[in-house]
Structure 1
Amino acid sequence: MMTELSQAAVRGLLIAAQGLQQQKPHKVTEKSVRDIIRQMHVLQIDTISVVARSPYFVLWSRLGSYEPHWLDKLLEKGELFEYWSHAACFLPIEDFAYYWLGMMQRGNEEDNWRKWLVEHQEVAQRVMDYIRENGGTRSADFENTKGLKGGWWNHKEEKIALEALFNGGQLMIRKRHNFQRIYDLRERVLPDWDEAQAASKEQIHEQFVLNTLKALGVTKPEWIADYFRLKKADTLKALNILAEEDKVGRIEVEGWKTPGYYHFDNEALVNAAAKGKIPQSKTTLLSPFDPICWDRKRGSELFNFDYKIEVYTPEPKRKYGYFTLPILYKNQIIGRLDPKAHRKEGIFEVKAVHLEPNVEVDDAMVTALKATLKDCADWHKTPQVIVRTANVAGLAEQLNG
C-alpha cells in the first residue's frame, strides 16, 4: 500500500517547490535570481505597476530584498529569454529548444500573425532591414506612419510587425530599458542556436510535464496542463508515457480519488513530508501573477482561498480592491491586501486588509505581517507604511509603522 500524504503536506510541498519555504538567512545575489527562475521554470511578465511589476514582485516574494536590475542583467546577458509560455514570460535560456517548435508553428500559414506578415511583407522587410542596420530597436523608434495614437486597435504597423516577427522567432528581446522591449535579430541574440537542437512535439510535452511536476511538488493530473498552457489531451498522454516508463513518482493523497504525481528530484522532500516533516512557508505577499495563484481551482482546493483579480472590474463592483495581493502565512493564504506604492512620497499605502473568515489573529501573526509589510515597503523605497482599514478590529492600527 502506498504511503498517504496529508493535504497539509501537499501545501507544504507546493510551497517548497516554488521556493517560498522558510530558509536560513543567506546572501541574495544575481545568481539567486537566476536559480529561482530556473526552479519555477517560468516568470510571468505583467506591466501593472501600483507596486513593483509582477516579475520583480514574484522574485521579492521568494528572495526578500534584492536588486531588481539583476533580472534585467540576466536577460541582457542571455541567461534568460522572453517568449510565450504560461503567458508572456521570462524563461531560462537552456529551455529555448522546447519553444522553437512553437515559434515555427506561430509562423505557419494558419496563424493570424503569419497572415498579417504575408499581407504586409513590405512593412515586415522594412522593420527587419532597419534592425539589421541599426541593432536593438524599440517600437518607439519607428514613426507612426498613420498618425494614430494609443490603443491596441490602432497600433502602428511597425509595432505589429515587431510583435509578429517576435512570435515567429525571427526577432528576440535583447534587453529591456525602463521595461520597454528592445528587439534584435534572433541570430544576434542567440548566435549559437542550431535548429537541429530543437525538441520534437513529444519531447516538449514530456519535458513540460516533468517541469510542472517539479514546480508543483505533488499534483493532480488535472492541475498540470495550465502551468505551460498545454492541451489536456497532450498532457495526459505525456504523463501516461512518463508513468509507464517509471520516470515520475506517484503517491496517495488524503481526499484524492487518484494518486498524486511528483518529480523524482522532489522524492526526498515527499518522503519526509509523508513522515510529518512538512516544509513551512515564509510570511510573504504574493503577486496575482505568481504561479501559486495561477490555477484558481487548485488554490481553492488546497488553500480554501477563492481569488479573483479585480483590475478589470469597475470600481463600484470591486469586493477587495484593484490589485490585491494574497498573504501567505504558515502554509496558508490567510487573506489579501490592496496596496499602492507612492514612490515620490515614500509611502507604502495599504488601502485595506481583508483576512479570511475564521483566521485567528494573534501577536505572532501581527508581528510577522508587520515585518513583511515593512520589508516590502523598504524594498520599494517607500519606507512609511500606512494601513487604512482592515476587516479585523484594531488590526490596521497594529500594522501601521
Structure 2
Amino acid sequence: MALRKLDLDEARRIAVRAQLLDLPRPSDLLAVARQLTLLQIDPTAAVAPNVDLVLWSRLGSAYRPEQVKQALESDRTLFEHNAMVRPMSDLGLYLAAMTVWPYRESHKAWLAENDTFRRDILARLAASGPLVSRDIPDTSAVSWPSSGWTNNRNVTQMLEFMMMLGEVAITGRRGRQRVWDLAERVHPAGTPVVELAEAQRIREHRRLTSMGITRTTNRGTGMEPGAVGESGEEVTVEGTRGVWRVDPEAIGKPFTGRTALLSPFDRLIHDRVRLAELFGFEYVLEMYKPKAKRRWGFFALPILFHDRLIGKVDAKADHKAGVLRVDAIHEDVPFAAAMREGVEAELHDLATWLRLKIA
C-alpha cells in the first residue's frame, strides 16, 4: 500500500500542536508536563532556566516557578531524574530500567570497587534524612576517573549512579544544589513496575505523541533518546525524502496559531535536522561561541509565528537593573505587521512574567 502523504503545512502544524504551542493555550502545568513527557533541566538562565522558560512558552505569565517546586517537593506529581523533570505518573515506566542498570562495564567496575562507599551513603541518608552532596563524606576506595568536570567528584558521581539504580532520588533543591534522599521516601509506595520491553514501547509511543511527527530515529534531548520505534503511522511529507512517523490521531485536526518565543532547548527545535526539513529554519545555540562569532546572540530565542519559525530574539534578563534587555530581533523573513505585533506582545508578556521592564 502507498503511504499517506502529508503536505508540509500539515506536518508543521502537527508538530506545533503536539508541543502545545497553538491556541488555545493550556492552563494546567501537570497536563503540559504529561503531554511533553519531560522538561529538560539546564543551569543556563540568561533569560530564565529552561524548565521555566518552556512552561512560560505554553502557559504564559500566569505560570510561576514556585508551581514546579511545589509539584516536585510537596505534591509529588512531578519527579526529577537524570536531568529531566517528568510526571510522577510515568515513574513506573522507568523502574524496570533501574533494575538492569548499568550497561557499561566501566560503570559496573567502579560500583563494585566502591560498594562500601555506596552502602555508607545509604546508611547516612537512612539515619539523617535528606542531604546535599557536600554533606556526605567521600569514603570511596577508587576515585571516579574523568577528563571532564566530574573528575574526582566521587560523591556526586556515586549519587547519580545510585539514582540510576533506583536507590536514591532527588527530593528537592536548595538553590541549584540537589537534595538527595532514599528513593523509597520520595517515590510513591506501590508504584507498579512496567515490564522493560513494554515500558520501552510505551515510552516510544509517548515520545511520538509529544513530537507529533518525526523520523523513526532522531536526535534525542539530553539524556532522552529520540527513537520512536514502530509507533504511529508511516507517512511521507511533501518536499522531504524518506519516511516519517506521525501520530495518526493528530492528522487533520483544526489549527489556530499564535506567536511564541522558545527556549534554545525547546523540544520543537531540538532536532536540527527535523527543524530544517519541516520548518526550513537554521538555528545554533551560540553561548559556547566567542562573542565575535555569534550571529544571533548568546541565548537567542527562536520565534514561532503560527506554523513558521521566523526569526530569533537576542535577549537577556538583568535582574539587578530590573530590565529585560532586548539587544536585537533577527528577522529570517521580513516581518509583516502581525508578526511584529505578536513578537512585541510576547516580549511584553515575558518581561511581565520575569517582573522586569523591557530595555
- 1:42 maps to 38
Point out where structure 1 has 5 or more consecutive residues left out of the alignment.
Answer: 243-247, 387-401
Q: 1:215 is aligned with what amino acid? A: S
Equivalent residue runs for 1:378-397 within 5 Å = 378-382=352-356, 384-386=357-359
State the Cα distance separating 1:111 from its structure 2 match.
Answer: 4.5
Contact kept in structure 1, 2:37 and 2:206, CA below 8 Å? yes
Point out where structure 2 has 5 or more consecutive residues left out of the alignment.
Answer: 141-147
1:350 equivalent in alignment to 2:326: yes
Equivalent residue runs for 1:326-337 within 5 Å = 326-337=302-313
1:171 equivalent in alignment to 2:168: yes
In 2, distance between residues paired with 1:193 and 1:114? Answer: 28
> Judging changes above 3 Å, is the alpha-carbon distance between structure 1 residues 170 and 145 closer, same or farther for their aligned structure 2 residues?
closer
Equivalent position to 2:76, from 78, 92, 99: 78
Q: 2:9 is aligned with what amino acid? A: A
Deviations 1:184-243 (A, max 9, x none): 10111125146x72322x2133212211221122333344x73684486xx5xx40xx5x
- 1:374 maps to 348
SS in 1 for 2:347: helix
- 1:392 maps to none
Equivalent position to 1:100, from 95, 99, 114: 95
- 2:189 maps to 192
State the Cα distance separating 1:58 from its structure 2 match.
Answer: 0.3
- 1:11 maps to 12
- 2:54 maps to 58
Aligned residues: 348
Contact kept in structure 1, 2:150 and 2:157, CA below 8 Å? no
TM norm structure 2 = 0.88
1:262 equivalent in alignment to 2:246: yes
In 2, distance between residues paired with 1:361 and 1:191? Answer: 50
In 2, distance between residues paired with 1:323 and 1:39? Answer: 26
In 1, distance between residues paired with 2:291 and 2:309? Answer: 24
SS in 2 for 1:64: helix
State the Cα distance separating 1:132 from its structure 2 match.
Answer: 0.8
Deviations 1:52-77 (A, max 9, x none): 10011000001101111111111112
- 1:124 maps to 118
**Percent sequence identity over aligned pairs:** 31
SS in 1 for 2:131: coil
- 1:298 maps to 274
- 1:325 maps to 301
Contact kept in structure 1, 2:314 and 2:328, CA below 8 Å? yes
SS in 2 for 1:166: helix
> Judging changes above 3 Å, is the alpha-carbon distance between structure 1 residues 157 and 206 closer, same or farther for their aligned structure 2 residues?
closer
Q: 1:346 is aligned with what amino acid? A: G
Equivalent position to 2:109, from 103, 112, 115: 115
TM norm structure 1 = 0.79
In 1, distance between residues paired with 2:311 and 2:283? Answer: 10
In 1, distance between residues paired with 2:71 and 2:299? Answer: 27
> Judging changes above 3 Å, is the alpha-carbon distance between structure 1 residues 253 and 171 closer, same or farther for their aligned structure 2 residues?
same
> Judging changes above 3 Å, is the alpha-carbon distance between structure 1 residues 230 and 362 closer, same or farther for their aligned structure 2 residues?
closer
In 1, distance between residues paired with 2:7 and 2:269? Answer: 21
Deviations 1:158-178 (A, max 9, x none): 222222211221101112232
Q: 1:261 is aligned with what amino acid? A: R
Aligned-pair RMSD on alpha carbons? Answer: 2.6
State the Cα distance separating 1:155 from its structure 2 match.
Answer: 4.9
In 1, distance between residues paired with 2:245 and 2:114? Answer: 47
- 1:245 maps to none
Contact kept in structure 2, 1:106 and 1:113, CA below 8 Å? no
Contact kept in structure 2, 1:123 and 1:157, CA below 8 Å? no
Contact kept in structure 1, 2:98 and 2:165, CA below 8 Å? yes
In 2, distance between residues paired with 1:53 and 1:127? Answer: 30
